[in-house]
Chains A and B, each alone.
Chain A
Amino acid sequence: MVSRLSKPIPKGLLAVALLIGLAVLLPMLYLVLRAAQAEPSQLAEIVLRPRNLYLLGNTLALLAGVIVLSTLLALPLAWITSRTNLRGKRLWTVLLVLPLAVPGYVGVFGFFGATGSGGWLEMLLGFPWPRPTGYLGALGVLTLFTYPYLFLNLRAALLGLDSSLEESARSLGYRGFEVFLRVVLPQLRPALYAGWLLIGLHVLGDFGVVSLVRYETFSYAIYLQYAASFDRVYAAWLSLMLILLTGSLLWLEARLLKNLTLSRVGLGSARRPSPVPLGAWSLPAYALMVLLVVGALLVPLTSIVYWLNQPAYPLELSSIKEALQNSAQAAAPAALLAALLALPLAYLGVRYPSSLSRLLERAAYLGYATPPLAFALALIFFSLRALPFLYQSLALLVLAYALHFLAEAIGPIRSALYQAPPRLEEAARSLGYRPLQAFLKATFPLLRRGILASMALVFLSAVKELPLTFLLAPAGYSTLSTRIWGYTAEAMFAEAAPYALLIVLFSAGLVGLLLTQERR
């Protein structure tokens, strides 16, 4: 379609889209401005502080550990649930994906509530289990609740592979495992990279888990600098370093994918290979799956149920209601705003694809990839400098949610736009409607479902979001997520349990929604 390339973008649309892209990127600029406030003499000291290296080492060690461990879990699991004669593949797949519905800080609540003295494991077994803390604690919890990203990607890739390639390798004399290493694994690389990137962004952005298990990464250090020692210049520097790290991850992924020349095989064309009998491997396979289901689902759920039933403290329904209301009051307008901002970006990307529209969409993704703590800090500096009346206001929190989750909102609107042919708007134009009217009358009604899906995604994501809420909520404004974090940090598990239950329900809804969106 040569004609698309040359079509000039309407000026109004372009201006709006540029403004939105700028809104995502502008706060970052203030982060730089704030960091630059350091005295020149101070600067070298800040940048070259040995502690930075320590934090970098910790962060990278966690990143590498979670990626390796997730791969060791997700790869065999993806293969078992797609290629073998395992019974109930669909059920196991759902069970193995469900841990996505447990945010990391709820996972920590689950393990903390189970272990230590007073945990339900002590009640059950008679002796207290050690609490997961430090590096191993962070590694374990983050792996358990993020490996499904990799699992989903790998499973989809395995199902999409053309089995004739494997068959031809076999006909050339390779045995089963050799075929996997030499033919299957190389083709799984795009899925691996995509899964690793998602997990990596999660680990770098995580605040809830590392702060609760007290493992010092960049995120945790930023929080400490900002909240405890009020050294905002150093916090800004740490944020920039974290953003740099995230940027390198994105760059690495793009580079790895660029060198990859796999002619991808479409889903429909490939013939399904006949399932491999598990045989003697059945037992280890089931053991691995049961272990994960127990660790990532049973432990948190048992903790919730157990602590809900502890009569020590009466449930304070009014304060639960307040937190629920606070969560909704911030998340609902954010959902509306995100959908509103996503609309012009998605429209530009679908109807006027160009390097500019791709750039604007990437700006939105950058906002999403930026670690939330750094993003929150950037917004704080921005509001203090440019719009002081926004500081410590609910509006700033709403804005933060909307800009951070903008990328999530673009997806469903974009797929809805692809289903609304541009001819419809042209038909409306030929019947006498001006461009904006034509869009509202002919295209907008068809986007309703996509917009609703976008709003639901952003709403649920915002409800379970912790670090943004933590830094940006007005003083005394506590939501479901901040309550769980606060009570868990104080080891008040009975108080945390009802909030954890609500969050798990909300996130289960989010996961269900994401999966149905992906299936489109």
Chain B
Amino acid sequence: MNALNTERPTVPSTALPPVLQVQGLSKRFHPSLPPVVDQVSFAVGPSEVFALLGPSGCGKTTTLRLIAGFERANQGQVWIAGREVTRCPVEQRGIGFVFQDYALFPHLSVYDNVAFGLRHLRGRARKERVEEVLGLVGLTVFKDRKPGELSGGQQQRVALARAIAPGPKVVLLDEPFSSLDAALRQATRDEVRALLKQAGIGAVLVTHDQEEALSFADRLAVMRAGRLEQIGTPEEVYHRPRTPFVAQFLGRTNLIPGEAKGLEAETPLGRIALVEEAHGPVLLSLRPEGLGLAAPLKHLPQLEATVLTREFKGHDLTYRVRLGERELLVQESPESPFRPGERVRLVVRARAVVVGRNK
């Protein structure tokens, strides 16, 4: 399973050369401990937004810090804008970095924070650039304030403005939205994405929030225990997970064993269709929205299940049902009438994805 990340292309779909390329990056903090980052490779195209998604402790932040140069890699290379920078100190890499807690300089005004990285510019040019960037993030009127006098969303925009002001080819964002409250998060996310696209900067976002990764990124990589399990567009990764971990991490799913025979498989749910051809014992992923419930039929007793719980969420409805020894999640429309304890029949509405091969 671990070799799966090499099966897919690690380069972006655009034809232009990547602004960031990472090859075989590995980092070990202690010789006796397993590597925190293990043979990670990917590339980010110009003005592409790339997300590194994974649970906490999977090594995604360390990967970002290796790219920035805050940590030194034990193995592997990093190229930024076509130049190998693996041995370069941070300040010579030409990256922008947005920290989780923003790390704004508390003793400097908003204006001076943004101007901090513009040492190569003097006088007029410097002022114009600061004001241009502040205008871009819509903070011109706050330019004389200290960071402590701004709201969380405003601080976040100053941090972004400071990072993009020197004109980096790639910006690295370390969980930049996690300290914002939920109401502000979506709006800020959209703004930042629009900004990055407008400025034509490549971006790597680190997050543990799968919804954020799916909606923010052009492509994403799912990381687990230091390795990339899968790289692809949000749709690919969601609809065609390659491993059980990816399937489960990107939203809820049902993992079902089966015996594949070409484009179909025999499973405890009966014979179901597969997205792609496979043979032999397999593990399948079927999302809750790929299942439905109906009134039981006399002649199909083997698909009869019992409703365990019913979770009404307004726009939809999730059931937990038991089929034999197995519990399954089923997503239904909000009008679905079944109650806990009732007998129901399972209906398979979508094709299953092979996420692993059982021995």
B-contacting residues, A1-49, CB 8 Å: 2-3, 5-7
List residues of chain A with CB within 8 A of the CB of B96: 430
- Judge whether B163 and A429 touch: CB under 8 Å: no
Residue of B nearest to A419 (CB): B106
Whether A441 touches B116, Cβ cut-off 8 Å, given contacts A2-B29, A423-B103, is yes
Rounded to whole angstroms, the CA-CA distance of A431 and B106 in the bound complex is: 16
Residue of B nearest to A423 (CB): B103
List residues of chain A with CB within 8 A of the CB of B163: 430-431
Residue of A nearest to B69 (CB): A429
The listed residue (B70, B97, B99, B106) touching A446 by CB distance below 8 A is B106
Binary flags per residue of A67-92, CB closer than 8 Å to B gives 1, else 0: 00000000000000000000000000
Residue among B33, B103, B117 facing the most chain A CB atoms (10 A cut-off): B103
Interface residue? A188 (CB, 8 A): no
List residues of chain A with CB within 8 A of the CB of B95: 430
- Judge whether B97 and A432 touch: CB under 8 Å: no
- Judge whether B101 and A421 touch: CB under 8 Å: yes
Residue of B nearest to A429 (CB): B90
- Judge whether A431 and B166 touch: CB under 8 Å: yes
Residue among B93, B97, B104, B163 facing the most chain A CB atoms (10 A cut-off): B97
- Judge whether A430 and B107 touch: CB under 8 Å: no
- Judge whether B29 and A430 touch: CB under 8 Å: no
Interface residue? A427 (CB, 8 A): yes
Number of residues from B at the complex interface, CB < 8 A? 30
Chain B: minimal CB distance from A250 (Å): 32
Interface residue? A445 (CB, 8 A): yes
Rounded to whole angstroms, the CA-CA distance of A262 and B16 in the bound complex is: 63
The listed residue (B91, B99, B119) touching A423 by CB distance below 8 A is B99
List residues of chain B with CB within 8 A of the CB of A431: 91, 116-117, 162-163, 166
Chain B: minimal CB distance from A359 (Å): 21
Rounded to whole angstroms, the CA-CA distance of A446 and B90 in the bound complex is: 22
- Judge whether A426 and B97 touch: CB under 8 Å: yes
Rounded to whole angstroms, the CA-CA distance of A445 and B162 in the bound complex is: 19
Whether A424 touches B30, Cβ cut-off 8 Å, given contacts A430-B68, A430-B97, A431-B117, is no
Residue of A nearest to B31 (CB): A6
List residues of chain B with CB within 8 A of the CB of A421: 101, 103
Rounded to whole angstroms, the CA-CA distance of A7 and B27 in the bound complex is: 12
List residues of chain A with CB within 8 A of the CB of B68: 426, 430
Binary flags per residue of B246-279, CB closer than 8 Å to A gives 1, else 0: 0000000000000000000000000000000000
List residues of chain B with CB within 8 A of the CB of A441: 116
Interface residue? B218 (CB, 8 A): no
Chain A: minimal CB distance from B165 (Å): 8
Interface residue? B62 (CB, 8 A): yes
- Judge whether A3 and B71 touch: CB under 8 Å: yes
A-contacting residues, B18-70, CB 8 Å: 29-30, 33, 36, 62, 68-70
Residue among A5, A430, A442, A446 facing the most chain B CB atoms (10 A cut-off): A430
Interface residue? A428 (CB, 8 A): yes
Interface residue? A433 (CB, 8 A): yes
B-contacting residues, A432-463, CB 8 Å: 432-435, 438, 441-442, 445-446
Residue of B nearest to A420 (CB): B106
- Judge whether B117 and A432 touch: CB under 8 Å: yes
Known: A2-B29, A3-B62, A427-B97; 6 extra A-B contacts, CB below 8 A, are A423-B99, A423-B101, A423-B103, A426-B103, A429-B91, A441-B116
Which B residues contact A (CB, under 8 angstroms)? 29-30, 33, 36, 62, 68-71, 89-93, 95-97, 99, 101, 103-107, 116-117, 119, 162-163, 166
